[in-house]
């Protein structure tokens, strides 16, 4: 799989308008969006990762096999960002999600160790309201035992009111879920 970084965009008027299908990754700051993109690409240095929340402040486009885009969206819920930065991120996120004509699916990342936050629930409602297809990815599974993964996935599913079967459980560290995500992306961009 050939994946190359194309550009980062800081404002809504600079968002790419291409003929390629797009799949986007969204979630709270520090949930592992960049790590999942690196997992898919099998390249730990493609998307910049950080242990500091709030580092992804731009919309980052990655072209896959000259066929479709993976789009890394700004994380939400970073408490230390000031109101004007949060407002800019929110506008950028909203513009991307509502104006991208070729958006096929949003992969919403949730940390398997925690119940969804109010912001996570708002994002789910927002995506449903705008009729944007969602696939739920539970990240950081390597931090829990199999029994804990299963237990937490059940709790998260109950909290969101969705079937547990809707989750892709992942670990960038253990390369868990990679094939399932790629297969799902191929299916979405083919529709």
Domain residues for the domain of 172 are 3-190
On the question of pLDDT at 54 being above 80, the answer is: no
Q: Where residue 20 sits, what CATH number does that domain have?
A: 3.40.50.300
Burial class (CB in 10 A: 0-12, 13-18, 19+), 185: buried
Q: What is the pLDDT of residue 78?
A: 55
Alpha-carbon distances of 87 from 55, 81, 82, 117, 157, rounded to whole Å = 16, 10, 9, 19, 30
Using CA of residue 109, residue 111, residue 116, residue 118, what is the dihedral sign?
negative
Which pLDDT value is given to residue 90? 72
| 133 SS3 class | coil
pLDDT surpassing 50 at residue 75: yes
Is a pLDDT exceeding 90 seen at residue 5? yes
Q: What local confidence, expressed as pLDDT, does residue 49 receive?
A: 67
**Whole-number Å distance between alpha carbons of 13 and 9:** 9
Is 80 a residue whose pLDDT tops 70?
no
Reduced 3-state DSSP string for 134-170: EEEEEECHHHCCHHHHHHHHHHHHHHHCCCHHHEEEC
Q: For the chain, what percent of residues have pLDDT higher than 70?
A: 89
Instruction: Judge whether residue 84 has pLDDT over 80.
Output: no
Q: Has residue 101 got a pLDDT over 80?
A: yes
Tokens of 148: 């804990």
Q: pLDDT per residue over 110-166, tens digit each?
A: 999 999 999 999 999 999 999 999 999 999 999 999 999 999 999 999 999 999 999
56: confidence class by pLDDT, cuts 50, 70, 90: low
The total number of structural domains that make up the chain: 1
Identify whether the C-beta of residue 105 lies closer than 8 Å to the C-beta of residue 190. no
Residue written as tokens 């979405």? 188
């Amino acid at each position: 799989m050939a994946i190359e970084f194309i550009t980062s965009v800081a404002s809504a008027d600079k968002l790419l308008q291409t003929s390629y299908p797009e799949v986007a990754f969204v979630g709270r700051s520090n949930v592992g969006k960049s790590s999942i993109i690196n997992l898919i690409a099998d390249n730990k240095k493609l998307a910049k990762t950080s242990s500091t929340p709030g580092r992804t402040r731009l919309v980052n486009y990655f072209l896959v096999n000259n066929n479709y885009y993976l789009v890394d969206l700004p994380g939400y819920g970073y408490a230390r960002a000031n109101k004007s930065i949060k407002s800019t991120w929110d506008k950028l996120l909203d513009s991307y999600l509502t104006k991208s004509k070729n958006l096929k699916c949003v992969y919403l990342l949730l940390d398997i160790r925690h119940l969804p936050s109010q912001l996570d629930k708002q994002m789910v409602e927002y995506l449903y309201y705008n009729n944007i297809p969602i696939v739920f990815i539970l990240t950081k599974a390597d931090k829990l035992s199999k029994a804990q993964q299963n237990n937490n996935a059940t709790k998260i599913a109950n909290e969101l009111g969705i079937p547990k079967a809707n989750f892709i459980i992942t670990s960038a560290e253990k390369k868990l879920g990679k094939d399932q995500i790629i297969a799902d992306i191929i299916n979405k961009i083919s529709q």
